[in-house]
Structure 1
Amino acid sequence: MVFSLGIVGHGAVSLETVNPKSHTLLTLPLVVARYEGCEYVVSMLGQGSRWVRNVRAANGSAVIHAGRRRPVLLEEVRADARAPITKSYLAQAPGARPHIPVDQSEPV
């Protein structure tokens, strides 16, 4: 709830997606990574996570809550462009480090 209200700060948001089969709503907390003036959501559990599958099935449509509710269109980043974004994400979301086994001091 505090993520949805936007009072946590540090890029904390709630992401809302819909399961394409059951039409159930999935809302979960995420950290928005900022890199080179753009914002990214990163799946610390990989491509198989529910929210990633839901967003792909919805052709990128999702809703972000951070003080207010706003529809977004998420675009998948090419695999060869993800490393610097992931490094930035890990600096902003330290709780994700156990899920992404890359040392913070490693070069991009």
Structure 2
Amino acid sequence: MPHYIKPGRLAARLNGVIGWLARRGISLAGAADLAVRGRKSGEWRRVPVNPMTFEGGRYLVSARGDSEWVRNMRAAGGGELRVGRRSQPFTAVELPPADTAPILRSYLERWGWEVKSFFGEVDARSSDEELLAAAPQHPVFRITATTTA
């Protein structure tokens, strides 16, 4: 059974505000507006995310688990990140959970204050084994910028 923590009403409203701000050029704590094509409708779907850089690569982590944007990303293979007028299309490759522990640790170091409720007892100080155990519940995508012609 896929793991997913659905946002409550307040969190959904807050996400809407954060995404709205990002689309207007105001990035709170590094947030960006993610646009990805819906796997069924083909329409663009938007959600705020926290893209991160780790050892020279760029990543998206789903703190809530197997969310709609994760399933859409798997189908679409990429999307677009936007902050204000700056828009960056990208391709995405999902990493196997066994490879994500160091990325999750870095993500929790940066945004643990924001996402701790989605990780249970796991935090940036957790052992590699604890991070590996949590990894299947938090998909990670490596994103690579693409150019538009």
* TM bucket, shorter chain: 0.7 to 0.9
Give the structure 1 partner of residue 39 of structure 2. Answer: 20
Q: Give deviations 1:52-105, integer Å, cap 9, x for gaps.
A: 1101111x1211112311110011112111011011111222311110121332
Unaligned segments of structure 1, at least 5 residues: none
Contact 2:34 2:48 (8 Å CA) reproduced: yes
- Which has more helix, going by share of residues? 2
Q: CA RMSD in A?
A: 1.6
Identity fraction in percent: 33
Check conservation: 1:31, 1:41, Cα contact below 8 A. Answer: yes
TM-score (norm 1): 0.85
Output the CA distance in 1 between the equivalents of 2:106 and 2:61. Answer: 10
Larger Rg: 2
Q: TM-score normalised to the size of structure 2?
A: 0.64
Q: 2:74 is matched with which residue: 38, 56, 61?
A: 56
Aligned length: 106
Tell me how far apart the structure 1 counterparts of residues 117 and 53 of structure 2 sit (CA, whole Å). Answer: 20
